[in-house]
Structure 1
């Protein structure tokens, strides 16, 4: 059996190079373009079964690559980004709590991160968009953490046009400009729509890139996170006007924001093709967490049919939109249900570019999934500690097909929230598979793919990637962890977390609890910090959010 498997792998590799002979079977270190959407809902892309917001470029990327239907992140932005760059669970970094806010001293702890590993491998490294991992000191900022160049913003959000980020701190309003080129505020870019601006910069990086050097670029969009109070959602009016079938004006603007995000991916794909880089490039697209449909900073996104929202450990908060595309994938155009966690991307991509895993931090939690992705082999990951928060006493673990939730977040306010389909605000729309082939990603993927997909193939993959809740007649045992109950779900059979099985499988509950206790041993208490707005006030730095500690040189006011 082992010999047969080896011959199958060898045969697959031979076929792979044969299929791609016309594009000069890839040589050298692959380029990596990692795209992160912010607060994008499960139901806000077409390939998960929604007709509300056309996403032809994202759908084409997913259908021609691998749809990762069991991809998990953290429930907040800062912990997710920390997990992505370090390959470690945030509870091992002291970042398992809420996201970092301005004037906080918290930051990503010292230690090598993804950008530095890639830089050591000879890569040109770029971060476009959101950082959100602390900026109290210059050493906490991207260009001091392995990125050759940074064009983006430090905080959790900023305005989509004027790049002013407003925060209420200690009952007082503070405003500051938050857009930088490397370390210098980029005042001249104010007035340009953020999603377009970041896409244009990414395209410019690609156009100017020396193809003899491999490229690692992370594009961490502001979209579709809300902006400042009073203008939560922003999009060009001509794009908003395309969504007149959506009656709710907020959801309509949100749809336009998703559409601009989709356009940006098409623009990056076109730039990679024009530069003849696509044949040796890996493109990953994920959301950092689920959508906050309701509650503070809600963006009118939809996680339907999943239960929960951002800041919960239910599926709607931590099970995210994700896909990977590359000509290097032998077994693509499929839906993977294997468990994959956001920490896995560091070792997975490091292996993909020829890195030696032995040089990575030995305390890494991420698991190398590259062979599993390339050849459709079983994943080595069997469980995911979704979080352990010692302050809220909230924890969850995905263990094979089981999921256990203990305690609650946000006082349990959204534990009973099930993603609304929002159909009452939508005129009936048909899914346009032709638009997928006609999109920039669709047209280019069709040229590269040795066996181009048909619209029937799109429909088939979409059906597999669409989640369904329990049948209306199925028995349900409701569970709310806010009541002190421990909730156990069989996720493949019950992705909407409607039927608690804890009382029927007590041995499973005990086993998962023991596993949580084992993970708890490695927990680092949350980083304690105070708000230092007196020294971090933007008015001290030409009204820009700026590092404020160790500011003895002129760079602090640049």
Structure 2
């Protein structure tokens, strides 16, 4: 006997709705935490002896602790890689960061992580530092897929006034916010508030991007006082900044527990680049000429801004109870891999993306299986490039005088022994690969932008207020230099 229309609808809904509910329950919440300029060894799980990070260490101990997690050597490029799943040389963000006086940003034709996850049913939020375009609102997070935004558009700012050189850089949903408080505490409190407001039936993606422990080195006195045993005053303040960061990460985890969301929440933590070792990359708000730069990258050479391991291999861990085995994960992972990995977990389509450089590394993260990645592109710029293939790493500086470094990272992770002179064939092979990538690269927008400034100065044309790309918008973020 054929079913009536009401009977058919009843049977159909009964068969479909349970599947739909199960699919929704399978989508994990994602809390993605990024620190700013944090040294590889400045966390307990990587061996810090003078700075305590119990909350971060607990995430590492109960989940995956990565030994080969790679990012770009500076802030803007890493954040772009996370948002696009593509190397920054593809769209011109491979060099330096976006200066506050510049009008460019992350290409709006790129389909970003929050847009992808939002289509899969996620609520999306950024709490913290953006730094992927500020001069035109088309580049701002609310216009790029985030339902909610709170924090800095650029990223180097006074921790107490939330400004740079007296100009506010603190916003909520595109509107400037004037409030008191230390930025790390404010971001942590807002993240807790956001978590408390979530409906357990709808998954969320929270990109929690702290500006700590970037310069200027500032911390509440109570945190500095925790480290009276550290003799160097800058290191003492830096330790206090990290302690405050760790406390706020602990508060976020506690909020997830209290809300009953912890078991269905993936937490990822890492730094945006290695800790600063060169004063050139310390930023524009801190005079580091008379201090000892406090960051510690452990066994890795150099730091932020460099193509050595100290600038690109960062402290990192991931935790999801019942889904990620507690272990040390040795496989190579790059920031571009995060996009396809999270999209797969969320059941999200990447068909709107341009060709991804990232690969799905979930099995490596969750079970420690061999990484599907055999190559890391550290960067491709007109004046330098670096590539890793297997254990071999090449750094090629093409500006005169040129230089070539070749290392076997399995035998020499500290990059002390340059093997290029004895391995001409390997050097040539890897240079050929870098040269091919360079032919695919977009022109670095930073260099194009700075050349315009040089040309104006050469012709005696003053830089007018409108030249920074902000036009007449009185709510524009501060004009910050290129060093952050």
Q: Quote the offset at 1:377 in angstroms.
A: 1.9
Q: Which residue of 1 aligns with 2:15?
A: none
Aligned residue among 356, 363, 371 for 2:355: 363
Counterpart of 2:316 (choices 303, 310, 322) is 322
- Whether the aligned pair in 1 keeps the contact of 2:387 and 2:430 (CA below 8 Å) is yes
Q: What secondary structure is seen at the aligned counterpart in 1 of 2:440?
A: coil
* Structure 2 counterparts to residues 203-242 of structure 1, below 5 A: 203-226=192-215, 232-242=216-226
Q: Which residue of 1 aligns with 2:395?
A: 405
Query: Structure 1 residues 260 and 26 mapped into 2: Cα distance closer, same or farther (>3 Å)?
Result: farther
Partner of 1:347: 340
Deviation at 1:302, TM superposition (A): 1.4
1:512 counterpart = 2:430: yes
Q: Which residue of 2 aligns with 1:416?
A: none
The counterpart of 2:252, out of the listed 240, 246, 268, is 268
Q: Which runs of 5+ in 2 are unaligned?
A: 1-21, 283-287, 454-462, 480-484
| Equivalent residue for 1:184, pick from 170, 175, 185 | 175
SS in 2 for 1:43: coil
Q: Which residue of 2 aligns with 1:305?
A: 299
Q: Deviations over 1:328-348 (max 9, x none)?
A: 535x22111211111110001
Q: Is the 8 A contact 1:328 1:374 kept in 2?
A: no
- Alpha carbons 1:312, 1:408 under 8 Å: kept: no
Partner of 1:200: 189
Which whole-Å deviations, capped at 9, do the CAs of 1:223-255 have from their partners, x for residues lacking one? 0111xxxxx211110110110111010110000
User: Which deviations, in whole Å up to 9, do the C-alpha atoms of 1:454-482 show, x marking residues without a partner?
Assistant: xxxxxxxxxxxxxxxxxxxxxxxxxxxx8
1:138 corresponds in structure 2 to 137
Cα drift, residue 355 of structure 1: 2.4
Q: Is the contact made by 2:163 and 2:478 (CA closer than 8 Å) also made in structure 1?
A: no
Distance 1:238 1:343, change over 3 A: same
Change (3 A) 1:533 1:132: farther
Query: Which residue is equivalent to 2:477?
Result: 545
Cross-structure match for 1:334: 327
Q: Taking structure 1 as the reference length, what is the TM-score of the superposition?
A: 0.74
Gaps of 5+ in 1: 1-23, 167-174, 227-231, 410-481, 548-558
> Aligned with 2:339: secondary structure?
helix
Task: Report the alpha carbon displacement of residue 541 of structure 1 after superposing the two structures with TM.
Answer: 5.1
What is the TM-score when the length of structure 2 is the normalising length? Answer: 0.85
Distance 1:533 1:262, change over 3 A: farther
Task: For residue 364 of structure 1, report the CA deviation from its aligned partner.
Answer: 0.8
Q: Shift of residue 356 of structure 1?
A: 3.9
- Alignment of structure 1 residues 152-191 onto 2, 5 Å: 152-166=151-165, 175-187=166-178, 189=179, 191=180
- Deviation string 1:244-271 (CA, Å, 9 cap, x unpaired) is 1110101100000000111111000000
Alignment map for 1:519-538 (pairs within 5 Å)? 519-527=437-445, 528-529=448-449, 530=452, 534-535=465-466, 536=468
On the 8 A contact 1:310/1:316 being kept in 2, the answer is yes
Q: CA RMSD in A?
A: 2.2
Distance 1:328 1:234, change over 3 A: same
Q: Following the alignment from structure 2 to structure 1, what is the Cα–Cα distance between the partners of residues 330 and 104?
A: 35
Contact 1:68 1:322 in 2 (8 A): yes
**Deviation string, structure 1 residues 170-197 (Cα, Å, up to 9, x no partner):** xxxxx3101001111111x2x2011000
Corresponding pairs, count: 433
Question: 1:499: Cα distance to partner?
Answer: 0.8
Shift in CA distance, 362/186, structure 1 to aligned 2, threshold 3 Å: closer
State the alpha-carbon separation in 1 of the partners of residues 177 and 412 from structure 2: 48
